[in-house]
Structure 1
Amino acid sequence: MRRDDQLSATFAALADPTRRAILARLAEGEATVGELAEPFDLTLPAVSKHVKVLAQAGLVEQGRQAQWRPCRLRPEPLRDVLTWMEQYREFLGQSLDRLDDYLRGLQEGERQ
């Protein structure tokens, strides 16, 4: 898969809050689909579909240990997102600095 295609797949998978919550849980360690489903008001098949989307994006992999199929986080696609975002760090920093200066100016104007 090309890097741009991988980024698109990663961002598409991250677009859903349930999938982001699943990734946050997997950042703590391996879990089965049943364990991942516990905090949600979703059926096991619905959670399995979310896990499948995450797996297709390369964010999750499922092992096989007897009948237990633990899911684990794969960080590589997230590193690619971070690398992609790095090119905008300077722009974002400058924008936030300008916003901070503007807000300080407003506060100083209110004090006078």
Structure 2
Amino acid sequence: HTIQVDYILYMDELAKQVGVRPPILKLLLTDPRLSVNVIFGPCTPYQFRLHGPGQWEGARQAILTQWDRRSSHSLIFSVSVAALLSALYYSRDSLHTFIADPSSLLDKIRAFVPLPLSAQ
């Protein structure tokens, strides 16, 4: 849709216009730990409070500790791991068959896979 924008690109452009975009090269030279967190960490509004109008003294500490404030595992991740372990447990008898002949799996699921239309 034309009404949607990429959040990070939009925020960077807006921050540049307002004068609060973090100077990455300066950060890299003066505070490498913070620059690594800004570059490789999640894009959060804290990074736009490091310099310029609306500067906040706690922004650096907030960026460095933002991973401490998130939950360790999401519910989706936990359920996915449980499903994978269950599938491995219940299919352990046929696992050696699958490893020996992977095409046997295709034969078993062929009825459920839509076939391409033939050219007429």
Greater RCO (CA < 8 Å, at least 6 residues apart): 1
| Structure number with bigger Rg | 2
TM-score (norm 1): 0.29
